Amino acid sequence: MKPFRFAAGIRRTASRAEYVEAVRDIERLGYSAVMLSDHLVDQLAPISALGVAAAVTSTLRLGTFVFNNDLRHPAVLAQELATLDRLSDGRLEIGIGAGWNKPEYESAGIPYDPGTVRIDRLAESISIMKRLFSDGPADFEGRYYRVTGFDDLPRPIQRPHPPFFVGGGSPKLLRFAARNADIVGIAPRVRPDGKPDVLGGTLAGSESKIAIIREAAGERLDELEINTYPSFSARVTDQTEPAAREVANRIRQRYGVELSVRDVLESPHVFIGTVDSLIEKFRMLRDRLGINHIFVGEDYRDFAPIVRVLSGT
């Protein structure tokens, strides 16, 4: 089994000093990585912010959770990321997805294509970036991108390329990630109406996703890390059942889906419990699903005692 790795997130801070203190705290608390999200909202833009993080830390890995592929051309993104990998002495991890937030597309005037189209475009983008990260000229002609003659862009320190983190909920995206990424994330699928597939976020639904990943990965499986994150709730508390019941009620009211307290507490996307019970849960998720890479988001201080026990084990 892969050793546990934990990642933390930061969305916004009031000042540079507050941000620097936060990333240094994340490193000091034993987290493997800081991972910043990528949305057109009031938050830190990830590439610029990770550049600052690189300058004020020495061991913390730097990643995204995750880039929206449709916001950047892969050649432009490859240059930015190779630069970041070089200036961080090889600490970059590239989290990238097909995009899902429809209102964001509409506000920016970007067409929100069907999921299969966005996934195919993501596949082309990653293929281009991998070629641009390698030696020699990069030529690619696909349905969505055409790149010719690039042979003098900066190359990253990590060879053949920094690790790619790709996640999602649809079988198509999970199969692609299993065959092409280094870290595969499982997530509740976003339905055409923009709401998450709540049942897909249960333990049983996640086991189905893992089965898809295992079949698609084949001999690559042992090389992969598997990620999860608390899309429904994260809380370190000794009031476990009331907190889980609150989540179940919220899901029922918002999505019309009935989940039991047990369903909630077993979900790989709910981190509710005491330090000891969450340690036990994460070990269960690794034993049953192979999950070793855990993103806790902005609640990294609350989860630090868990990281101290599990990280690297």
Concatenated DSSP letters of the chain: -PPBEEEE-----SSHHHHHHHHHHHHHTT-SEEEE---SSSS--HHHHHHHHHHH-SS-EEEES-EEGGGS-HHHHHHHHHHHHHHTTS-EEEEEE----HHHHHHHT-----HHHHHHHHHHHHHHHHHHHSSS-EEEE-SS-EEEEE--S---SSSS-PPEEEEESSHHHHHHHHHH-SEEEE-PPBPTTS-B-GGGGSHHHHHHHHHHHHHHHGGGGGG-EEEE--SSEEEE-S-HHHHHHHHHHHHHHHH-----HHHHHH-TTEEEE-HHHHHHHHHHHHHHH-EEEEE-TT-TTTTHHHHHHHBT-
Q: Averaged over 176-204, what is the pLDDT? A: 84
**At 174, is the pLDDT very low, low, confident or very high (cuts 50, 70, 90)?**
very high
Higher pLDDT: 250 or 137? It is 250
> In degrees rounded to 5, what are phi and psi of residue 165?
-115, 115
**At 190, is the pLDDT very low, low, confident or very high (cuts 50, 70, 90)?**
low
Q: Averaged over 108-129, what is the pLDDT? A: 95
Q: Which amino acid is at 48?
A: S
Domains delineated in the chain: 5-232+273-310 (3.20.20.30)
Least confident of 256-260, 261-265, 274-278: 256-260
β-pairing verdict for 164-168 and 92-97? parallel
- What tokens were used for 163? 């690790």
Q: Averaged over 161-172, what is the pLDDT? A: 93
Burial of 81 (0-12, 13-18, 19+ CB in 10 A): buried
- Tell whether the model's pLDDT for residue 191 goes beyond 70: no
- Residue 137: per-residue pLDDT: 83
- Residue 278: per-residue pLDDT: 98
Q: Read off the pLDDT of residues 19-30 as tens digits, 9 standing for 90 and up.
A: 999 999 999 999
- Tell whether the model's pLDDT for residue 192 goes beyond 70: no
Q: Read off the pLDDT of residues 246-261 as tens digits, 9 standing for 90 and up.
A: 999 999 998 888 999 9
Q: Read off the pLDDT of residues 79-98 as tens digits, 9 standing for 90 and up.
A: 999 999 999 999 999 999 99
- Residue 187: per-residue pLDDT: 87
Q: Averaged over 57-73, what is the pLDDT? A: 96
Average pLDDT, the chain: 94
Token pair 């983008």 is found at 125
Decide: 267 and 278 in contact? Cβ < 8 Å: no
Token pair 């240094």 is found at 24
